[in-house]
Amino acid sequence: MTIGATDHLTPECLKLNPNEVVPTLIHDGYPISDSSVIIEYIDEVFGEDKLTPNGAKERERMSKSRML
């Protein structure tokens, strides 16, 4: 999804995410912001096929790539 510079500042979006942070995931009406937190949440809730790699080196590479 492509989002414009101010698309996340609508009144509807600000109700869900008053900190104006993108991305925001809404799951069961619960807003979750910050990509790292979203990944951890998805792993916890839908843990069968995790997004986070198992090995320490792989997790470290994933963490670095999120900072770009």
The pTM for the full model equals 0.67
* pLDDT number for residue 51: 85
* pLDDT number for residue 13: 76
Task: List, for residues 9-66, the tens digit of each pLDDT value.
Answer: 777 777 777 777 778 888 998 889 888 899 999 999 997 888 888 899 998 888 888 7
- 25, exposed or middle or buried, with CB in 10 Å at 0-12, 13-18, 19+? middle
- 3-class DSSP assignment, residue 34: coil
Report the candidate in 17, 33, 23, 62 with the shortest Cα–Cα distance to residue 41. 33
Domains and CATH numbers, the chain: 7-66 (3.40.30.10)
How far, in Å, CA of 41 to CA of 33, rounded?
10
